Copies of this chain bind each other. A is one copy, B any other.
Amino acid sequence: MSVPIALRRPGDLGRSRLRPPRAAAPARTGGSYGARPPLHASASGHPLAEPAITRALADRAREIEAAFAAIEPALVALAPRQFEPGFPERAAAELATLLGVRLEPALLRAVWNAPLDMADLHARLVLRTFARLVERSARPPAVEEGEPVAEVIRRFGFHAVDVATCADGRLGGLLDHVLRVPPAIVVARKSFAGALFDVEEAIARFERVELARWREGRPNPASEPTRYLALGVYHFSSLDPEHEGCAAHGSDDRRAAAALLERLQDFAEGVARRYGEAVRPAILLAGVDTDTDAVRVHVPDAAGRMLLDRFVSSLELHARTRALSREEAKDEIRRRVAAVIGVPPDDPATEGMRWFCGYLLKNNIAQVEAVAARFGGAYPDRGHGERLILVGDPVDDVQLRNLAFQAQMRSIEEGEADLAVGIRLLAARLAPLGFAVPVLVVQSFDAALPGADHRAARRAFQMRAALERRFASGASPCRLVVEAAIRSAAGGPLRFLNRDETPNSGLRCGAEGRIP
């Protein structure tokens, strides 16, 4: 679908009932909090700003926001006409033109005693709009200085980066905005409540990458002494640490960091015990301030040891490097990264990891600058503002803060506590406004495997059924509108599954398979 989005007047953006009106932006030079350095964009631009990337990201953000903002007015305009003859087809056509998404006319059929279910329609349009944005996905250019980033990272000792983070929607821009790492180096990005990833599953991912290195020398031969890097990202709120931190850890950033660090250590130790010290993965802990997108990088020492209180803050570096030249600023980052673990800036034992930490910090300073420039300080909305919940396999094509609460799981059974956090968060905002919570179950498949799409559809159906059984009953504080979709793991459009489609099971027929 390539129907253009009807952009509303700029003044309309962000005024949807879906999100509370934004607080007036603080003065540019204000926004200081506690002992932290005052945050403001340099008048002449920060030496580490990446204006081209920031512009591309901002354009994309505006496109995404406009697409969602157009949904409610479209429905408001349709509501009074719902009983007119020929309405379903006309309305479907109008929605296609206005929003670029297709809704089955049957969903738009109103009867005098069964008017349109607007909450349901709204949620479905949110999900389809998300799918349209995935289809039009355009990841921003990577920050590259000469050499492709993936090669530089490999040269510094890492052949794959596996990112585990929190399901919290405020981390929805983690890869493109906050870390600004190119998709090519990220072997996986998975989100869980509290970032608490599954160790066994993470080891299985390591094994898959390792097999490709042995068999095919991809991304590099196993004989090269590069490492698999597991990056764990927790989050906190610098402006309202007691309330707007990680819900899964009681908004306690120390607890969030400690739990994630333990998980990372279990992962590295597990791989080392199973396959030997020679392939022990590197691990790195980082925290994101959801108010500013600034990061804390817990630089590991030569032994790989990280401390909760030992980190380099990009917010601080952003301030420190403001008046420097670009090269001086990069030197300053290198100095700080070395200093925090007490090694000289040319220490060979920690070189690769220090480079990677510096790379993340440098990238992130550009984002801190972008947020400061756009909002004159921190984000005006500190809290949650997710538009939908994504359950199942990850979708990273649309990156934006507060876009989606994204909880990876293989079954609702294992992930229901994570999902419950997301439903509670979205329901708290949407239910009082009469909206339903849009939930998309996504199952991806390897298109190279015969029948994999059918099996993915089967899993998606199963997951949707389990989700509805678990949450969409009277037990839930809010209406959910759940759709299921499958997608090739290589990317491409999401394929929504019709509710009356049945999974191509072909296995259980007759009375035998029925639940007793």
Residues of chain A at the chain B interface (Cβ within 8 Å) = 193-194, 196, 198-200, 203-204, 207-208, 210-211, 214-215, 222, 247-250, 259, 265-266, 269-270, 273-275, 410-414, 416-417, 420-421, 423-424, 427, 446, 448-452, 455, 459, 462-463, 466, 475-477, 506-510, 512-516
**Contact pick for A450, options B211, B214, B269, B462, CB 8 Å:** B269
Q: Which listed residue (B215, B413, B475, B508) contacts A466, Cβ 8 A?
A: B413
Q: How far is the CB of A328 from chain B (nearest CB, A)?
A: 43
B477 and A516 contacting across the interface, CB-CB below 8 Å: yes
Number of copies: 2
Complex alpha-carbon distance, A449 and B269, angstroms: 7
Give every chain B residue within 8 A of A417 (Cβ-Cβ).
Answer: 508, 513, 515
Q: Are B214 and A275 in contact (CB under 8 A)?
A: no
Residues of chain B within 8 A (CB-CB) of A513 are: 193, 248, 417, 420-421
Beta-carbon contact of B248 and A452 below 8 Å:
no
Given contacts A196-B507, A248-B513, A509-B250, contact A414 B411 (CB under 8 A): yes
Asked whether A215 lies within 8 Å of B214 as measured between CB atoms, the reply is yes
Q: Among B273, B413, B451, B455, which residue has its beta carbon within 8 angstroms of that of A462?
A: B413
Q: How far does the Cβ of A197 sit from chain B's closest Cβ, in whole Å? A: 11
Question: Judging by beta carbons under 8 Å apart, are A459 and B414 in contact?
Answer: yes
Q: How far is the CA of A294 from the CA of B187 in the complex (A)?
A: 48
Contacts of A459 in B (CB 8 A): 414
B462 touches A512 (CB 8 A): no
Q: For A452, what are the chain B residues with a Cβ–Cβ distance below 8 Å?
A: 199-200, 270
Other than the known A259-B506, A420-B515, what 17 A-B pairs have Cβ atoms closer than 8 Å?
A196-B507, A199-B452, A200-B449, A203-B449, A204-B208, A210-B211, A211-B211, A214-B222, A250-B512, A270-B450, A273-B450, A410-B410, A414-B462, A417-B508, A420-B514, A423-B516, A427-B516
Q: With A421-B512, A512-B247 given, is the CB distance from A215 to B275 under 8 Å?
A: yes
Are A455 and B207 in contact, CB atoms less than 8 angstroms apart? no
Contacting pair B449 A270 (CB below 8 A): yes
Residue of B with least CB distance to A247: B512
Q: How far is the CB of A157 from chain B (nearest CB, A)?
A: 20
Is A266 in contact with B508, judged by CB distance below 8 angstroms?
A: no
For the complex formed, measure the closest distance between the CB of A188 and the CB atoms of chain B, giving whole angstroms: 15
- Residues in B whose Cβ lies below 8 Å from that of A248: 507-508, 512-513
Q: List 29 A-B contacts (CB under 8 A).
A: A193-B513, A198-B455, A199-B455, A204-B208, A207-B207, A207-B211, A210-B211, A210-B215, A215-B222, A247-B512, A248-B507, A248-B512, A249-B509, A250-B509, A250-B512, A266-B451, A269-B450, A270-B446, A273-B449, A273-B450, A274-B448, A411-B413, A412-B413, A413-B462, A417-B508, A420-B515, A420-B516, A421-B512, A475-B516
B residues near A198, Cβ cutoff 8 Å = 455
Q: Select from chain B the residue with minimum beta-carbon distance to A265.
A: B450
Which residues on B sit within 8 Å (CB–CB) of A509? 249-250
Q: Which single residue of chain B is at the shortest CB-CB distance from A246?
A: B512
Smallest CB gap from A213: residue in B: B214
- Contacting residues, chain B, for A215 (C-beta < 8 A): 210, 214, 222, 275
The docked-state distance in angstroms from the alpha carbon of A414 to that of B458 is 9
Chain B residue at smallest Cβ distance from A506 = B259
- Interchain CB contact under 8 A, A448 and B273: yes
Chain B: CB-nearest residue to A467:
B413
Complex-state Cα separation, A113 to B250, whole angstroms = 45
Alpha-carbon distance A288/B273, docked complex (angstroms): 40
CA distance A416 to B477 in the complex (A): 27
* Chain B residues closer than 8 Å to A411, beta-carbon distance: 410-411, 413-414
Residue of B nearest to A270 (CB): B449
Write the nearest CB–CB distance from A15 to chain B, whole angstroms.
Answer: 28
CA distance A199 to B455 in the complex (A): 9
Measured between beta carbons, the chain B residues less than 8 angstroms from A208 are 204, 207
Set of chain B residues within 8 Å of A455, measured between Cβ atoms? 198-200
A477 surroundings in chain B (CB, below 8 A): 516
Q: CA–CA, A207 to B414, complex, Å?
A: 24
Q: A200 to B459, alpha carbons, bound, how many Å?
A: 12
Partner of A413, one of B193, B413, B423, B446: B413
What is the CA–CA distance of A512 and B251 in the complex, to the nearest angstrom?
9
Chain B residues with Cβ under 8 A from A420's Cβ? 513-516
B476 and A516 contacting across the interface, CB-CB below 8 Å? yes
Q: In whole angstroms, what is the CA distance A513 to B463 when docked?
A: 20
Residues of chain B within 8 A (CB-CB) of A265 are: 450
Most buried by B among A210, A412, A450: A450
> Which residues of the other chain, B, contact A193 by a CB distance below 8 angstroms?
507-508, 513
Q: Which residue of B lies closest to A268 (CB)?
A: B450
When chains A and B are docked, how far (Å) is the Cα of A427 from the Cα of B516? 10
